[in-house]
Amino acid sequence: MEEKILVTRSSMPSMDEYIEEIRDLWESHWLTNMGIKHQKLQSELEKYCDVPHAILYTNGHLALENAIAAMQFQEGGEVITTPFTFVSTTHAIVRNGLVPVFCDVNEVDYTIDVTKIEELITDKTVAIVPVHVYGNLCDVGTIQKIADKHNLKVIYDAAHAFGVQYKGVNAANFGDASMFSFHATKVFNTIEGGAVTFADDSLVQVLNDMKNFGIRGQESIAYVGGNAKMSEFQAAMGICNLRHLDEEIQKRKSVAEHYRERLSGVDGIRLCKEQPEVKHNYSYFPVVFDGYKYTRDEIFEMLGKENIVARKYFYPLTNDIECYADYPTAGAQKTPVAKHTADRVLTLPMYADLSSEAVDKICDIILK
């Protein structure tokens, strides 16, 4: 049977490299609780991202939940965010007792439409949670100006943006905090994992308390925290993968360029434009089929019949799923650009080792 082409495939070091990295865990028997691998990865990430602080988590969702909780907003406060995202973003807001207010996206890079944020601000608004999408960065300058004007916190869902830079500044440095996902499907993975990056020294203790039951010593529990610690095995995978990250991104860039060569300039097929002054990570390759001879769903089915797995990402919108139906700003019709895009977008297979032959096969099916 012909091998299936998945929408993504995890980047991994050689088995020998990973075994060598975890070898000393068999000597120490220290498998979790912020051991030497955890500490090493944290230090290396702070250096790589050029950010004062990076707190590691067992997954990106808990990292975002904790980042929001650390701001200590009053329950019932409103948070302006985008529905064009994975449901984790909205869940993290709601699970903190806050109310999501959905803002539409722009049709160029699918990030939050900064021209529509201020009209959604009320006396209950406490924060903005924008989402960097597909490695495309939000308009961080305008968002910060709006936040400063209205005294709001900005917490970025940067799950897609690890390694991305704007004007030489790493994405980890924008807003009051940024959350990164290190899930197996991401450009950089720790098997499962995540991190919160920030500059405010006062958040270090709070976030460490939150992820480790509030424990500050053998007989001191200062905070009602949970358990969201990254294990030593996760951290070891991250240490290995970070060594190869730049090479992996370069390989992804070659895949993206090949897609662009084949699919650019085709009527009814819309590709994301490269953002000016942004160093991209090529995390996804989204294609919007808008007026093409086949619909998005038809393309999805045709690829599937050839053992090629694409993804309707993001679909449905989070303001159009049942658990948010009763929220005041729910309903995809209120965010028409996001709805139009979600109904037509397909992310094509994208990973570092995707062959040119595979890209050609995918493009041939789309263009046939």
Question: What distance in Å separates the CA atoms of residue 172 and residue 178, rounded to the nearest whole number?
Answer: 6
Question: What distance in Å separates the CA atoms of residue 102 and residue 319, rounded to the nearest whole number?
Answer: 7
Q: Which amino acid is at 237?
A: M
- For the chain, what is the largest distance between any 2 Cα atoms, rounded to a whole number of angstroms? 68
Q: Please write the tens of the pLDDT for every residue from 308-365.
A: 999 999 999 999 999 998 888 789 999 999 999 999 999 999 999 999 999 999 999 9
Closest CA to 351 of 234, 188, 136, 180: 188
Helical spans, DSSP H, in 50-196: 60-70, 87-94, 140-150
Interior CA angle at 185 toward 180 and 190, to 5°? 60
pLDDT in the model for residue 1 = 53
pLDDT in the model for residue 140 = 98
End-to-end Cα spacing for the chain: 23
User: What DSSP designation does 119 have?
Assistant: G
Model confidence at 299, pLDDT cuts 50, 70, 90, reads: very high
CA dihedral angle for residue 293, residue 295, residue 300, residue 305, rounded to 10 degrees: -50
Residue 346 backbone phi and psi in degrees, to 5: -140, 125
- Residue 122 pLDDT greater than 80, yes or no: yes
Percentage of the chain with pLDDT > 70?
A: 99
Query: Which domains does the chain carry?
Result: 15-243 (3.40.640.10), 245-367 (3.90.1150.10)
CA dihedral angle for residue 124, residue 125, residue 127, residue 130, rounded to 10 degrees: 140
Query: Model-level pTM greater than 0.95?
Result: yes
Interior CA angle at 243 toward 242 and 249, to 5°? 70
Helix (H) or strand (E) holding 345: strand 345-348
How are beta strands 165-166 and 278-279 bridged, if at all? antiparallel
Q: Please write the tens of the pLDDT for every residue from 258-293.
A: 999 999 999 999 999 999 999 999 999 999 999 999
What DSSP line would sit under 268-302, residue for residue?
TEEEPPPPTTEE-----EEEEESS-SS-HHHHHHH
